[in-house]
Structure 1
Amino acid sequence: MHDSTMWPFGPLMMLVVAGLIILPFCFIFRKAGYSQWLGLLMIVPVINFILLYFLAFSEWPTNRVRGSSRD
């Protein structure tokens, strides 16, 4: 049965967990030279893996500006 005493905290906990996931990725994308708003896509189930692999294996715009690329 549904426990009605914990119901108000369910959505609050979901927002806290989503914030804990989104915030670091927003900083990572910004430091990599991409839009920080891409961090919002990390809560979408399939897109998050695609975006993570894109971030890991693509050449970052910040490296292109400096002219140095780490391989």
Structure 2
Amino acid sequence: MPAFAVDPGLILFLFNAVAVWPLMRIFRRAGFSPWWALVIFVPVIGLVAVLGFLTFRRWPARIAVDPPAPTRKARRTA
């Protein structure tokens, strides 16, 4: 193995370590606990889990800003 080869696991760890700080800020601004950003360190599914969490959850910080959804009338059946 050449002397300049770097372990891919080390590169992934460094990428995750750099990504934790911005993710903590995003979670804090979204109204979630910033500690959710540490899920990124779970191998293989960490980044997908964090991005899925931010994408598909309703942000508590937006609930106060958005008006409530209009209620639909019940459909009458004969």
TM-score under structure 1 normalisation? 0.63
Q: Give the total of aligned pairs.
A: 63
TM-score under structure 2 normalisation? 0.59
Q: Which has the higher helix share?
A: 1
CA distance in 1: counterparts of 2:53 and 2:60, whole angstroms: 13
CA shift, 1:48, in A, is 2.4
Aligned to 1:26: 24
SS in 2 for 1:68: coil
Instruction: Judge conservation of contact 2:24–2:35 (CA < 8 Å) in 1.
Output: yes
Runs of 4+ aligned structure 1 residues displaced above 4 Å come to 13-16
Alignment RMSD: 2.6
Report percent identity of matched pairs.
28
| Unmatched tracts of structure 1, length 5 or more | 4-10
